[in-house]
Amino acid sequence: MTVLSAPEPLVEAEIPAEPLGFRTRRLLPHRASEVLLPAAVFLLALLGWEAIVRLRGIPPYILPAPSLIVATLVKDWGVLSAALLVTLGTTVEALGLAIAGSLVLAMLFAQSKWIERAFFPFAVVLQVTPVVAIAPLLLIYLDGHTAVLVCAFLVAFFPILSNTALGLASTDHNLVELMELYRAPRWRQILLLRLPAAMPYFLGGLRIGGGLALIGAIVAEIAAGSAGQGSGLAFRIVESGFRLNIPRMFAALTLISFTGIVIYLAFGALGHLVLHRWHDSARSRGQ
Amino acid sequence: MPPMTDAAVEVRHRPAPVLVSLRGVSKTFPNGTVALSRLDLTVQAGEFLSLIGPSGCGKSTALRMLAGLTEPSTGAISWTGTRPEIGFVFQEPTLMPWASVFNNVWLPLRLRGIGKAEARPRIEDALAMVGLESFAASYPRELSGGMKMRVSIARALVLRPPLLLMDEPFAALDEITRSRLNDDLMRLAAELGTTVVFVTHSVYESVYLSSRIVVMAARPGRAVAELAVEAPRERDEDFRTTPVYAETCRRASRALHAAMSGQDAL
């Protein structure tokens, strides 16, 4: 039995085309599975949605079809784009503040364990308290715009802070000693060593914080919106809800999702741009 | 190299000036571990000194003290004149992964306030010394272990320090790479006239490279034997087959075993 079956795999192994064919077959599905497959599935889901709405005759105030949502987006673009700009403005501002604040604080933490021990609990308390619970309080103390800004800042701040602090702390100890050997002043050590070493961690935090800043802004806008203030996307959603303008709600929702995706992709691209020459996270395996 | 004159031979045998000496140096870590106990060690200018010994004998601690990275608990380190510029090579290449080879080698110069343009010839020179002139634009992760170590050596030598400290630099490399780097290091130290203090686990490596070997014992860390390698500093693979090499290896091994068995008796 074994004697008879032995020659077969030997012959097969001698066909040179096999590994080549295998390689080209692997390359194509790889790209397809990354881009084409999710796009196709998403498109199918939209078509299914459209079909169900049309076949069942579901009225638009219960569930609008995707085509109607797109039409609403075009028709209401004036209102929606203005709202988008407001929300985007808040998000960017909050993110900017969160980046600046967390960088400063993380560097303070890196200077001394005592500072970290003293102040880190505050950061944790701010993080674990749900922003939707803080928003009403902030709306009492602050004007609408500032309250929304602070909410978005609070949620974006912590992931960037904790990631950056971790990055600053995980600098190669031997490199730190090398700096000491050359008697480099502390600020040069931070600039030349700690900040670049923390970069992958910081960018990871940014990717989370960017999305969270948008969520924070939306949540706070909803809280503010029900108090009759604001003009952002979330406010438009609440307003459309009151008016039973469901297609516009969906259109605003689409814009929010789209903005979130763009933020995520933008920071992903930024990370790749900054890190691809040296960090494993931004390289494919075997490179 | 011109043939060695009698005068040169005489110079070789005259005791070299002392670069630095450790006297009665002890180090106790905060957790109570005695890393070094009353170590006396003299480093002469121009020599290649190896410290060998088992783990925990304090050889790395002694090296770090010379570098000023840790202070002795008791005893004194005295430099002849002021402490010179020092190069340090760690067991790992310890390169900045985000910086190109060029920028990694630039670091010591940069910390001395020398700009990129001004530093360029010196960096290129240092890279040429270790045979990596065509890899200036590469990143550390694109290099092999041996090449990374070469960059690390180029960085340590870029300021042309009179003293080079090396903490088991080739321990993680394969035999062939290690032997090649040994040859290159020996050549560089001779060319630049650099004094080298070299920490290693390997008797063979220490005998091949050194002009003098100090054998250390652990618990507590101390020096137990010292031997001179009675051979000219210019050596190549043939040196490994000479009677002097074999005899010195035997003596060093014996001293090391004595140091380690003494430790077992404790």
Q: What is the pLDDT of residue B148?
A: 96
Instruction: Give the closest-approach CA distance of B245 to chain A in angstroms.
Output: 34
Neighbouring residues of B198: CB distance < 8 A, sequence distance ≥ 6: B48, B49, B50, B51, B166, B169, B206, B209, B210
Assess if residue A2 is contained within a domain: no
- The string of pLDDT tens digits covering residues A79-138 is 999 999 999 999 999 999 999 999 999 988 888 888 888 888 888 888 888 888 888 888
Does residue B174 have a pLDDT over 50?
yes
Chain A residues in contact with B86 by the CB 8 A cut-off are 181
CA distance B89 to A193: 18
**Per-residue confidence (pLDDT) for residue B155, from 0 to 100:** 97
Inter-chain CB proximity A197 and B98 less than 8 Å: yes
Kindly list the residues from chain A whose CB atom is less than 8 angstroms away from the CB atom of residue B92. Answer: 174
Which pLDDT score is estimated for B262?
63
b/e for B76-109, b at 16 or more Cβ within 10 A? ebeeeeeeeebbbbbbbbbbbbbbbbbbbbbbbb
pLDDT at A121: 87
Q: Which residues from B are below 8 Å from A199, CB to CB?
A: 98
Partner residue facing A181 (CB), from B88, B92, B139: B88
Q: What is the pLDDT of residue A221?
A: 87
A30 within a domain of the structure (yes/no):
no
pLDDT band at B96 (very low <50, low <70, confident <90, very high): very high
| A279 falls within a domain | no
Q: What is the pLDDT of residues B13-72, one digit of tens each?
A: 556 789 999 999 999 998 888 889 999 999 999 999 999 998 888 999 999 999 999 999
Q: The domain containing residue A199 runs over which residues?
A: 59-256
Mark the ranges of chain A whose per-residue pLDDT is less than 70. 1-31, 225-230, 283-287
Q: Cβ contacts (< 8 Å) between B141 and chain A: which residues?
A: 278, 280
B5 — pLDDT class (breaks 50, 70, 90):
very low
- Counting the structural domains of chain A, the total is 1
A230 is a domain residue? yes
In a domain, residue A234? The reply is yes
Contact B111 A188 (CB under 8 A): yes
Give the pLDDT of residue A6: 39
Q: How many angstroms separate the CA of residue B122 from the nearest CA in chain A?
A: 17
Entry field: residues in chain A: 287
Which residues in chain A touch residue B113, judged by CB atoms under 8 angstroms apart? none
The answer to whether residue A233 is domain-embedded is yes
Note whether A182 contacts B112, CB cutoff 8 Å.
Answer: yes
A281–B contact, CB cutoff 8 A? no
pLDDT value at residue A11: 36
Q: How far is CA B8 from the centre of its chain?
A: 25
- Contact (CB, 8 A) for A165 and A237: no
Vertex A82: Cα angle to A76 and A83 (nearest 5): 90
- How many angstroms separate the CA of residue A181 from the nearest CA in chain B? 7
Q: What pLDDT is stored for residue A2 in this prediction?
A: 40
The answer to whether residue A178 neighbours chain B at the CB level (below 8 Å) is yes
CATH number, domain with residue A230 = 1.10.3720.10
Domain-embedded: residue A116: yes
Q: Does B172 touch chain A (CB under 8 A)?
A: no
Query: CA–CA separation, B177 vs B181, rounded Å?
Result: 6
pTM: 0.80
Three-state SS sequence of chain B: CCCCCHHHHHHHHCCCCEEEEEEEEEEECCCCCEEEEEEEEEEECCCEEEEECCCCCCHHHHHHHHHCCCCCCEEEEEECCCCCCEEEECCCCCCCCCCCHHHHHHHHHHHCCCCHHHHHHHHHHHHHHCCCHHHCCCCHHHCCHHHHHHHHHHHHHCCCCCEEEEECCCCCCCHHHHHHHHHHHHHHHHHHCCEEEEEECCHHHHHHHCCEEEEEECCCCEEEEEEECCCCCCCCHHHHHCHHHHHHHHHHHHHHHHHHHHHHHC
Looking at residue A69, what is its pLDDT? Answer: 95
B199-236 per-position pLDDT tens digit: 998 999 999 999 999 999 988 888 999 999 988 888 88
CB contact under 8 A, B141 and A184: no
What per-residue confidence (pLDDT) applies to A81? 93
Give the pLDDT score at A222.
Answer: 86
A188–B69 C-beta distance less than 8 A: no
Task: Indicate if the pLDDT at residue B11 is higher than 60.
Answer: no
pLDDT classification of B78: cutoffs 50, 70, 90: very high
Give B240-262 pLDDT, tens digit per residue: 899 999 999 999 999 999 888 76
In a domain, A12, yes or no: no
pLDDT for the residue numbered B46? 92
Q: What is the pLDDT of residue B233?
A: 83
Cα first-last separation, chain B: 51
In a mutagenesis test of the B interface, which of A181, A195, A284 is the best target, namely the one with the most B β-carbons within 10 Å? A181
Chain B residue with CA closest to A178: the answer is B88
* Distance to chain B for A25, nearest Cα, Å: 28
